[in-house]
Structure 1
Amino acid sequence: GFRTIQIGPPAKYRRVLKESLMLTGDENIIDVQFIVQYRISGLEDYLYSLTNPDETVKSAAESAMREVVGDTTVTKALTVGKGIIEDTTARLLQETVNSYKAGIKIENVKLQDVHPPDAVKEAFKDVVSAREDREKMINDAEGYRNNLVPKSRGEAAQVINNAKAYSKEKVLVALGESERFKLIYEEYRKAKEITRDRIMLETMAAILPKVNKVIADKEVGGNVLPFLPLGQAMNQLTK
């Protein structure tokens, strides 16, 4: 994608767009600048198998790079996929020169610059920015979901545990009441009158303190009804 016009220092280069513009796998055009480092591994093959070894390597390298870029999305080519592009291109290029018996060992392929063509660079920046915004929104939504789901599960587990505890408490209370009635019934079977009187006295003892009581003595004659406010008297005593 470029020619050296002055070795330097500093070195000067000339871009060759017809070589550097390549089509990606998702049908986008990118400008790819790369270099190939190689050495002679077989002098006889290098000298006699090829008429112009350098030109052969250049053409084979361009062909290999176009094939690899054509299988790569534009996003990967511009970001995380550069290492894979370099390694795959180097492998394909080595296979090609081996088929020519060129006596050449490909040391490495290095991408110098990969970017959209100047004519569409600004528009492409907008597209990349929109994709980054979309990825950020997706990541934020996933983070919110990952935080919300465990919280909801924890709250649901707490509700279930509380319900189980409440149910267990009610069952234990019911069992206790059942056992109490069984004991009372056994006592009642053994001594019906005594047990009945005891239950009545216990019930009266629980109820009477909560109501006002009036005691009338039928032995006292006359037109005046003797009245004893027992409830008020008891309240005064308890104060």
Structure 2
Amino acid sequence: MSLREDLQQVARHSQRLWLALLGIVPLLYLLSGFYSIGAEQRGILTRFGKLVDDKIAPGMHYRLPWPIESVEKLQVTAVRSMELDFAQDANASHVQLELTTGDENLINVALILQYNIQEAGIFQHQAAEPEQLLRQIAQAESIQYVASQNIGDLLTTGRNQFQSGLQQAIQQQTRALNLGINVTSVQIRRLEPPQSIKQVFDDVAVARAEKQEKIQVEQGERSSTLAKARSDANRQQQQAQAYASELLARASGDRDRLLSTWEEYRQAPALTGQRMYLEMLEQVMPKARVTLATPSTGRQAEGNE
């Protein structure tokens, strides 16, 4: 075989190889459009940089190959946390170290903000740094809320209201700015006066606790005294009612007996008078003392008859 024939054969093999490559490359290019979305993810589909769909569900999907269409995968179901510690963030974010309350006291605040992504496409494309913007919103709303409250309320009965009120205010701002974020909760990690005046507030808290304890003791004694007085009043009332019932029964019996005697006397005056005389003697004579004197001896004898 001559050299020319060898070159022709190599050219034919090369031509077949290039034809095969020209068939395989487009196929691989088209197959590159298949992609999968995880269970906790949502896909964001863009076409030439324009948002097409931001709610692609988990599973296998197909898109037009790059650079026509592209897909971003974003964790949306997992709850994210953000810590806001004003004492640590003071220098980095130029916020005040201690917040000022409505009654012009200082207080240290540290919060934990929990949130998730509600609308993936808006979260990814509405703002350049949505989570940083969320932090700034939370800081501003915290400063504003604390400035409207008294320190005593914040440290005692107003803690739950602080958390719920701040969560609502932050959520309202994120919706107004259309960040695609859902704020699920705001939890207080630290809410206390500065160390320089903390002892004073601790003393106030102890005094308040002692006051509450004394009030509870006094209320307990008051309740016990009222219960005893109520019991004594009920007993005396029952005794009075029983005595009154006894007097009424006795008076009723005397009245009936008197009416019966009068009726008998009216029908037979002599006989009834004699009977009444004898009955009176029966009552009087057992109590009478009779003295007998004997003339012969002059001695006296006493006895009952």
TM range (shorter): 0.7 to 0.9
Does residue 1:168 correspond to 2:251, yes or no? Answer: no
**Displacement, 1:227?**
8.2
Structure (1/2) with the larger strand percentage: 2
Q: 2:183 aligns with which of 106, 110, 116?
A: 106
Which whole-Å CA distance do the structure 2 matches of 1:233 and 1:105 have between them? 111
Structure (1/2) with the larger helix percentage: 1
**Displacement, 1:136?**
1.0
**Displacement, 1:170?**
0.6
Q: Is the 8 A contact 1:216 1:225 kept in 2?
A: no
Map of 2:143 onto structure 1: 66
| Superimposed CA distance per residue, residues 106-135 of structure 1 (whole angstroms, 9 cap, x where no aligned partner) | 243222111111110011111111111111
Residues 189, 37 of structure 1: alpha-carbon distance in 2 compared, 3 angstrom cutoff: closer
Query: Can you give the 5+ residue segments of structure 2 that lack an aligned partner in the other structure?
Result: 1-83
The 5-angstrom pairing of residues 181-220 of structure 1 reads 181-214=258-291
The 5-angstrom pairing of residues 36-55 of structure 1 reads 36-42=113-119, 44-46=121-123, 48-55=125-132
**Displacement, 1:153?**
1.5
Q: Secondary structure at the match of 1:16?
A: helix
Residues 207, 26 of structure 1: alpha-carbon distance in 2 compared, 3 angstrom cutoff: farther
Q: Is the 8 A contact 1:211 1:231 kept in 2?
A: no
Map of 1:2 onto structure 2: 85
Bigger radius of gyration, 1 or 2?
2
Residues 87, 203 of structure 1: alpha-carbon distance in 2 compared, 3 angstrom cutoff: same
The count of corresponding residues between Structure 1 and Structure 2 is 219
Greater shift, 192-201 or 76-85, is seen at 76-85
Greater shift, 100-109 or 138-147, is seen at 100-109
Q: 1:14 aligns with which of 79, 88, 95?
A: 88
**Displacement, 1:82?**
3.1
**Displacement, 1:186?**
1.4
Q: Is the 8 A contact 2:292 2:302 kept in 1?
A: no
**Displacement, 1:75?**
4.3
| Superimposed CA distance per residue, residues 193-221 of structure 1 (whole angstroms, 9 cap, x where no aligned partner) | 2211221122122112212224689xxxx
**Displacement, 1:45?**
3.8
Q: 2:303 aligns with which of 209, 232, 236?
A: 232
Map of 2:231 onto structure 1: 154
Root-mean-square deviation (CA, aligned residues, Å) is: 3.1
Greater shift, 93-102 or 48-57, is seen at 48-57
Which whole-Å CA distance do the structure 2 matches of 1:233 and 1:183 have between them? 33
1:50 aligned partner, one-letter code: A
Residues 233, 57 of structure 1: alpha-carbon distance in 2 compared, 3 angstrom cutoff: closer
Which whole-Å CA distance do the structure 1 matches of 2:144 and 2:240 have between them? 65
Residues 150, 181 of structure 1: alpha-carbon distance in 2 compared, 3 angstrom cutoff: same
Instruction: Give the TM-score normalised by the residue count of structure 2.
Output: 0.61
Identical positions, percent: 25
Residues 171, 226 of structure 1: alpha-carbon distance in 2 compared, 3 angstrom cutoff: farther
**Displacement, 1:158?**
1.4
Q: Secondary structure at the match of 2:303?
A: helix
Which whole-Å CA distance do the structure 1 matches of 2:200 and 2:210 have between them? 15
Query: Can you give the 5+ residue segments of structure 1 that lack an aligned partner in the other structure?
Result: 4-12, 218-223, 235-239
**Displacement, 1:67?**
3.5
Map of 1:141 onto structure 2: 218
Which whole-Å CA distance do the structure 2 matches of 1:65 and 1:79 have between them? 17
Map of 1:116 onto structure 2: 193
Q: Is the 8 A contact 2:126 2:178 kept in 1?
A: yes
Residues 53, 203 of structure 1: alpha-carbon distance in 2 compared, 3 angstrom cutoff: same
Instruction: Give the TM-score normalised by the residue count of structure 1.
Output: 0.76
